[in-house]
Amino acid sequence: MKKKFDRVYQFKIFLKDIKPPVWRRIQVPENYTFWDLHVAIQDAMGWRDCHLHQFELINPSTGFKNVIRSYEGEEFDDDIVELEGLEKISEWFSIDNRIAHYEYDFGDGWLHTVRLEKILPRDKNVSYPICIAGKRACPPEDCGGVWGYEELLEILRDKNHPEYEDMIAWVRDQLELEETEEFNSEHFDPKEVTFDDPDKRFKIAFG
């Protein structure tokens, strides 16, 4: 748990270009950094935090787009790069500046829209962060992005497909499913979401 806070930020996160949409609604403490928000998004969506990521949003002080991520950019980067562990979400998001774009896994290119819906008073009876709603399962890691995921689902729907056995074995391995379990792309239950401590995740990632 982070230090004392009085308000929570409610976000709706959409995974772009997937139909029907995959989305989550989460509430996080107002004093979260962008690193903390990243961890909450990963856990709520069902990603495994195996790849690089970054946020893009408008800097409310300048009106220009900034990139916020865990590492500084190369010299040829055009965008101003901020380090996510030093930037608090409350200094960037507001009712007038609601939208950020979050990219995960630059190879597969999973693009998310992160939209601030509300700023609410903290409920003393709730342990934050919390996932309060969502739809559909997160795609498996390393399945090839939107188009690869669509192809994967097409194969899994056809037990006579020549690649069916290989693909279902691959999915079970990726998602650590039992041999009798199958991937259900429509399943999501917010009660099954558990959130890691972002500080512990940071130490694992960066020592």
Residues sharing a CB contact under 8 Å with residue 39, sequence separation 6 or more, in sequence order: 49, 195, 196, 198, 201
Backbone dihedral region of 95: left (phi > 0), alpha (psi from -120 to 50 degrees) or beta?
alpha
181: pLDDT confidence band, cut at 50, 70 and 90? confident
Alpha-carbon span 117 to 120, nearest angstrom: 10
Name all domains of the chain by residue range, CATH numbers in brackets: 7-136+188-206 (3.10.290.30), 140-185 (no CATH)
Strand partners, 55: 68, 102
pLDDT band, residue 76 (cuts 50/70/90): very low
Per-residue pLDDT of 17-55, as tens digits, reads 999 999 999 999 999 999 999 999 999 999 999 999 999
| Whole-number Å distance between alpha carbons of 46 and 75 | 33
Q: How far is CA 107 from CA 104, 144, 161, 186, in A?
A: 9, 8, 27, 25
* Average pLDDT taken over every residue of the chain: 93
Q: How confident is the model at residue 80 (pLDDT cuts 50, 70, 90)?
A: confident
- pLDDT at position 1 is 47
Specify burial of residue 33 (Cβ count, 10 A radius: 0-12, 13-18, 19+).
buried
Residue entry with tokens 């934050």: 128
**Residue whose C-alpha is closest to residue 96's, from 60, 61, 123:** 60
Q: Could you give the angle at the alpha carbon of 180 between the alpha carbons of 188 and 192, nearest 5°? A: 25
pLDDT tens sequence across 27-37: 999 999 999 99
Name 26's bridge partners.
Answer: 11, 131
